[in-house]
Amino acid sequence: MTPLIYSTLIISLGIGTTLTFASTHWYLAWMGIEINTLAIIPLMTQSHSPRATEATTKYFFAQATASATLLFAATSNAFFTGSWDILQTNNPLTYTLMTLALAMKIGLAPLHSWMPEVMQGLTLLTGLILSTWQKLAPFCLIYQIQPHSPNLFMALGLLSIVAGGWGGFNQVQLRKILAYSSIAHLGWMVLILSFSPPLTLVAFSTYLMMTFSLFYSFMMTKTTHINSLSTSWAKIPTLTALTPLILLSLGGLPPLTGFLPKWMILQELTKQDLALVAVLAALFSLFSLYFYLRLSYAMTLTMPPNNPAGTLPWRLNPSHNTLPP
């Protein structure tokens, strides 16, 4: 891909998100989301591998379905209310359709099944864009229509926390684990959205910061599989030593950064007399904590001086494994 085409696609991603942010009209907001989708599809296929083509096809079908549902819901809402204003989404049927369409856009459970499969076929850089930037525009629309049905958002949030934690149990591919991590964190954000929108923004900003740091760490060490974590320290030791802290922060362990948003969310749910929901969210988050600890264990237990065998040349350089003729 030439630099000119690559720059055009990146600029299109920015224009699409900015258009959705600045829109009060459903049609313009939908157009911004579509520009985003069309711009990232060539970025997904730039490796020209069958797996990337498969991931791009799945992504296209999922996004096309969500976009068609969103446009149908926006048109129906304009028919019932006589307004295309995003804040005038008062019809229960169209509101539910819009929420489900946007949930599919960002990968909320139970409409999340496309995301791990798509992430597995992408490079780490494209996966980073999919996990962060591509969620901004749909999440902005969810943020604007959120006050109408807290029960729907609580159901989506709890299901996402469960699906994000349970789905990452037996995964060994880091990109799939990061996809399930994204699903679980979005569940926390949606769970509290109806009661404290500013707290949702705090959680979303923290998620973006931690996800970018983790993707950057894996990109620098060129790590895509859990088995390769054991020798990643030999490439960039300092960065590898910091990565477990990022993983534990994503898991929400105190006193790390990721603990603060979850603690504030649980506190706000308790203030709203939703102690049972808070307890369920805290218990289900232990599923996610398991695979974060698993990754941290794989990295820290094999760092020197605990892993002398990992320093052998045949372990670090696969080209030396071949026997001489």
Instruction: Name which of 14-18, 28-32, 165-169 the model is least confident about.
Output: 165-169
Q: Residue 7 CB: number of other CB atoms within 10 A?
A: 10
pLDDT value at 73 more than 90:
yes
Spatial separation of the C-alpha atoms in residues 64 and 105, rounded to whole Å: 9
Using one digit for the tens of pLDDT, what is the confidence trace for 32-68? 999 999 999 999 988 888 899 999 999 999 999 999 9
Average pLDDT over residues 248-258: 89
pLDDT in tens, 188-207: 999 999 888 899 999 999 99
164 or 239, which is more confident:
164
- Between CA 212 and CA 104 the distance in angstroms is 22
| pLDDT tens-place string over residues 290-318 | 889 988 888 876 555 555 444 444 444 55
Per residue in 117-128, pLDDT (tens digit) is: 999 989 999 999
Characterize 131-156 residue by residue with b for buried, 16 or more Cβ atoms within 10 angstroms of its Cβ, and e for exposed: bbbbbbbbbbbbebbbeeebebbbeb
Radius of gyration, alpha carbons of the chain: 21
- Provide the Cα torsion 126, 131, 134, 139; round to 10°: 180
pLDDT of res. 278:
92
Q: For residue 102, is pLDDT > 60?
A: yes
**What is the pLDDT, as a whole number, of residue 118?**
93
Average per-residue pLDDT in the chain?
86
Q: What is the pTM of this model?
A: 0.88
Cα 297 to the chain's mean position, in Å? Answer: 23
Q: Which residues pair with 173 in a beta bridge?
A: 225
Annotated domain spans of the chain: 149-307
Query: Under a CB-based contact definition with an 8 Å cutoff, are residues 16 and 32 in contact?
Result: yes
Q: Using 50, 70 and 90 to split pLDDT, how confident is the model at 147? A: low
In this predicted structure, what is the pLDDT of residue 225?
Answer: 85
